[in-house]
Amino acid sequence: MARFWVLALCGLWLTGIVAAQTTDFWACPVNVAGQTLHVYNWTTYIAEDTISNFEALCSVTVMYDTFEEDSILIDELRAGNPNGYDVVIPINFTMETMLDENLLQPLNFDNIPNFADMNPNFVKRPFDPENRYSVPYLWGTTGIGYNRDRVGQTITSWQQVFESSARVAWIDYDRLMLGVALNLLGLNPSSSNPADLAQARDYLVANSQNVTVIADDTGQDLLAAGEVDIVIEYSGDVFQTINQFPDQNIVYAIPDEGTVTDITSLVIPVGAKNKPLAEVFIDYLLDKQVSADIANYTVYGTPNQRTVDEGLIYEDYLNDPAIYPPDAILSKLFVLESDAAIETLFSTTWQEVRALTGK
């Protein structure tokens, strides 16, 4: 997407931190210049100028790394955060595991005043009911991306995906794929019952005849390259591909049967090298315009109510039910829960699916 907003060097008072002279937009505290911040985020999950603008506003250096699977992130933290990441961005169900294993630090909200702008629907979630450790970043769904010209029809359901004669790519993520299968079977998408997981495994294997590849979060790239016709992927990744290749008739759909919705959070792990600067960065990301830039660029939903209320989200995105779903669709979405036992069970079962499908 080629539409960007250049941040002005102005800001608002950060409670508890000495701030620069301010106007109506975010400004960096004067006492952080020359410092370094280490950030670990998903790929394709931030605007192109978000980091460079923060560096310019604060006169700091950001060491920015990316990962493609939550398992990589949590393994990094379990190893003691050897790279000293100050801010990381997990999905909601991984948050539960991180908290269970004491991998996160509580936040000082005196340094994050923009938290007050969050939509109440995205705070005090079960994985962090008091928001002691996290603030919401973005949200989206896992659904169906497809090339309508190659498929030859409009797809609105999981059943159509499983029955299609087109070439299909699944996403290589145990919680998502098995969670969808469990939901379709009328079972708990976060079940810890091995018998339920066996049913989900058998369901996926029985419906894998059209699967060309199980992709490492690259299904959108395979779709654009014409290597597959249908993908199971994150909503924002597909919408970014739609914007990148407007000449292709690529569509994203939330299936009628429902699907996974996820909320990613900004958190500070144990072993962070610069917690105060991390909180400054989190507040910056929650600024109404910065939040809008990120949501508009990544095409994920923003949890920032002020951003929405002030009309900073592109109107065509805000009116797209596949990006900001109405209540009728929201009622069919479900969140995943986790703990160490569930994590192990899903991982083992997914390896069985991979072995039985030969993918």
Predicted confidence band of residue 25 (pLDDT cuts 50, 70, 90): confident
Take residue 101 and report the two structure tokens written for it. Answer: 């294993």
Q: Is the pLDDT of residue 23 over 60?
A: no
Per-residue pLDDT at 174: 95
Q: Rounded CA gap, 320 and 324, in Å?
A: 6
Domain membership of residue 230 as a residue range? 141-261+326-357
Number of Cβ within a 10 Å radius of residue 257? 13
Per-residue pLDDT at 184: 97
Within this chain, do residues 349 and 232 fall inside the same structural domain, yes or no? yes
Structure-derived torsion over alpha carbons of residues 193, 195, 197, 200, reported in degrees to the nearest 10 = -140
Within this chain, do residues 208 and 333 fall inside the same structural domain, yes or no? yes
Q: Is the pLDDT of residue 3 over 60?
A: no
Within this chain, do residues 164 and 69 fall inside the same structural domain, yes or no? no
Nearest Cα residue to 106 out of 278, 298, 319? 278
In this structure, are residues 164 and 210 in contact, taking their beta carbons and an 8 Å threshold?
A: yes
Within this chain, do residues 161 and 197 fall inside the same structural domain, yes or no? yes
Within this chain, do residues 133 and 151 fall inside the same structural domain, yes or no? no
Assign residue 121 the CATH number of its domain. Answer: 3.40.190.10
CA 53 to chain centre: 22
Q: Write down the pTM of the prediction.
A: 0.88
Q: Is the pLDDT of residue 4 over 80?
A: no
Within this chain, do residues 43 and 175 fall inside the same structural domain, yes or no? no
Q: Is 173 exposed, middle or buried (0-12, 13-18, 19+ CB in 10 A)?
A: buried
> Quick check: is 134 in a domain?
yes
Q: Is the pLDDT of residue 7 over 90?
A: no
Within this chain, do residues 232 and 269 fall inside the same structural domain, yes or no? no
Within this chain, do residues 213 and 95 fall inside the same structural domain, yes or no? no
Q: Rounded CA gap, 212 and 188, in Å?
A: 28
Within this chain, do residues 256 and 200 fall inside the same structural domain, yes or no? yes
Within this chain, do residues 165 and 78 fall inside the same structural domain, yes or no? no
Report the SS3 class of residue 2. Answer: coil
Q: Rounded CA gap, 263 and 337, in Å?
A: 12
The 10 Å CB-count burial string (b at 16+, else e) for 68-85 is ebbeebbebbeeebeeeb
> Quick check: is 10 in a domain?
no
Predicted confidence band of residue 21 (pLDDT cuts 50, 70, 90): very low
> Quick check: is 42 in a domain?
yes
pLDDT average, residue stretch 24-52: 92
Per-residue pLDDT at 24: 56
> Quick check: is 5 in a domain?
no
> Quick check: is 122 in a domain?
yes
Over the stretch 304-326, which tens digit does the pLDDT of each residue have? 999 999 999 999 999 999 999 99
- Sequence-separated contacts (24+) of 241-244 with Cβ below 8 Å: 241/145, 243/1, 243/299
Domain count, the chain: 2
> Quick check: is 116 in a domain?
yes
The mean of the pLDDT values for the chain is 91
Which residues, 6+ apart, have CB-to-CB distance to 280 below 8 Å?
14, 17, 28, 29, 32, 58, 111
pLDDT average, residue stretch 253-259: 97
> Quick check: is 174 in a domain?
yes
Over the stretch 135-158, which tens digit does the pLDDT of each residue have? 999 999 999 999 999 999 999 999
Over the stretch 163-214, which tens digit does the pLDDT of each residue have? 999 999 999 999 999 999 999 999 999 999 999 999 999 999 999 999 999 9
Within this chain, do residues 177 and 225 fall inside the same structural domain, yes or no? yes
| Residue with token string 């009328």 | 186
Q: Rounded CA gap, 349 and 344, in Å?
A: 9
Within this chain, do residues 108 and 122 fall inside the same structural domain, yes or no? yes
Judged by average pLDDT, the poorest of 122-126, 141-145, 209-213, 253-257 is 122-126
> Quick check: is 341 in a domain?
yes
Per-residue pLDDT at 19: 33
Bridge-partner residues for 61, per DSSP? 36
Predicted confidence band of residue 47 (pLDDT cuts 50, 70, 90): very high
Q: Is 136 exposed, middle or buried (0-12, 13-18, 19+ CB in 10 A)?
A: buried
